[in-house]
Every structure is written in structure tokens, then in C-alpha cells.
Structure 1
Amino acid sequence: MAAPQQYNWHKIAESAEDFFWQENQLCELQVKGKTICIARNGDQVFACAHKCPHAGGHMAAGFVDALGNIVCPLHRYRFSLQNGRNVSGEGYYLKTYPVEIREDGVYIGLEESRLFGLF
């Protein structure tokens, strides 16, 4: 049985209103050397890889559809913001990151790096 995923939490904003949202309710930011796409759907904030796994389109140039999926601007592949599943049927997976809105700010969880067999 796999161990539960461990995250290092990083504060990325004081509130959801502090992001530089584009009209499409998407933006990109740097967190610990990673470029992350941030998406807003209603009052929820999501985080995912900034490039589409199919052809590398910048997800922040796409849009969030009426069902809450992020849509790549290049070929219109659709991905669930909640789990990264490709909902348009092409079989790709978009990396997602957990986001928590806490009293003191907005946080993103990045996986703890684990080094096996190096010591």
C-alpha cells in the first residue's frame, strides 16, 4: 500500500483577490522554481501544470468551461481542475496541485522530494 502523499505548503497570496487574474480567470506564477497555472472557478481556486501534456500549450491562455474544466488553447483538450483527468477523451493527464484557502492566505501544496537509494 502506498504511503499518503506528503506536501510542503507554500503561501502564494494573501487572498484569492491578490492574483493577477486575466479575463479568463487564469494566471501563472512561480512557486519554488515551478511555473504553475492558477485557475478560479466561482469561489474556488485551483492549481495545475502551466503547459498542456499534449502539445505544450500554455494553460493560462485557455479558459475554464461551464463545467469547471480547464481548456487548452491549442487543441481544446479539457481537463478536470479537481484531479487533472482528461475529460474530452484523449487520455492525457494534467498535473494538479492542492490549494487551501486559509485565514492567513492562499497556500499550494508541492510534493516533498524524496531521495531513495542515494545514501
Structure 2
Amino acid sequence: MPHDDEYHWYKIAEHINELDFAANNIAVAKVNGKTICIGRQCDRLFGFAYKCPHAGGIMADGYIDAAGNIVCPVHRYKFSMSSGRNISGEGYFLKTWPVQIRDEAVFIGML
């Protein structure tokens, strides 16, 4: 994974409370015209793709399981929120991005 200084950091919210997290702890945000998801688990935030790389399922309609994996609503493929690796055994990777809170504002890092 690249170092923090290799990313271009985009502010997605002035405060975490501005992110509209659904009951499944997933919020949808726009960055540079791109729709993405922000997942929240145990006070950590993770950025990941809006659509599943397998069948295009909307990841915001999925859920985060007890192990911290994002689960696609279409075929229940599970992806690590930190690495994007499909832990269901298939070779798919979900695009992920680091998220940081700085002075209460929420930033996402993209290459």
C-alpha cells in the first residue's frame, strides 16, 4: 500500500456527522464526480468502491459482517475493507482507499 504522502487527499465531509451512515454502517459519498462508499466499523473508517467488481452490485446495499468484511448484496461475496481482497475464494478485488479524520474533517486518499 502506498504511503500517505503519495495520495491526493480529498475532503468528503467537514465532520463525520455529515456522512449519512445507514443502519448497515455504510455511507455514500461523491469524490471528484465519482460515487464511493465509506464503511464504519469499531470507530474506523474505510473507503471502497460503490459497485462490486464481480457483478456490479451496489455495495452500499450490502452490509459489514462481524469480521469487518463488506458483503455484496447480490452474491454475498465478501471483501476485506482494508485491502479489498475477496475472502470468498474468488480472484476479485474491491477497490479501496484510505480514510483519515483531520481536525474533525473526513478525508479520503486517492492515487
- Shared fold, TM over 0.5: yes
Task: Check the 8 A contact 2:46/2:98 in 1, yes or no.
Answer: yes
**What is the CA RMSD across the aligned residues, in angstroms?**
1.5
Inter-partner Cα distance in structure 2 for 1:76 and 1:15: 31
Q: Aligned AA for 1:74?
A: V
Q: Percent identity?
A: 54
User: Comparing 100-109 with 43-52, which one deviates more in the overlay?
Assistant: 100-109
Query: Residue 53 of structure 2: SS of its match in structure 1?
Result: coil
Secondary structure in 2 matching 1:98: strand
Name structure 2 gaps, 5 residues minimum.
none
Gaps of 5+ in 1: 112-119
Aligned to 2:69: 69
In 2: Cα distance, 1:14 partner to 1:87 partner: 33
Map of 1:16-27 to 2, 5 A cutoff?
Answer: 16-27=16-27
Residues 62 and 73 of structure 2 are in contact (CA less than 8 Å); yes or no, is this contact kept in structure 1? yes
Distance 2:51 2:18 in 1: 23
Post-superposition, which runs of at least 4 consecutive aligned residues in structure 1 deviate over 6 A? none
Verify the 8 A CA contact 2:14 2:106 in the aligned structure 1.
yes
Q: Say which one has the larger Rg.
A: 1
Q: 1:52 to 1:96 in 2, by over 3 A?
A: same
SS of residue in 2 equivalent to 1:17: helix
Aligned length: 109
Q: Is this contact kept in 1: 2:37–2:50, CA < 8 A? A: yes
Per-residue deviation, 1:59: 0.2
Deviations 1:50-99 (A, max 9, x none): 00000000000000000000000000000000010001111100000111
Q: Which amino acid aligns with 1:6?
A: E
For 1:96, the equivalent position in structure 2 comes to 96
Q: Secondary structure at the match of 2:89?
A: coil
1:108 equivalent in alignment to 2:105: no
Q: Tell me the CA shift for residue 17 of structure 1.
A: 2.3
Contact 1:16–1:45 (CA under 8 A) maintained in structure 2: no
**Helix, strand or coil for the counterpart of 2:93?**
coil
Are positions 1:28 and 2:13 aligned together? no
CA distance in 1, matches of 2:14, 2:29: 14
Q: Displacement of 1:19 after TM fit?
A: 0.7
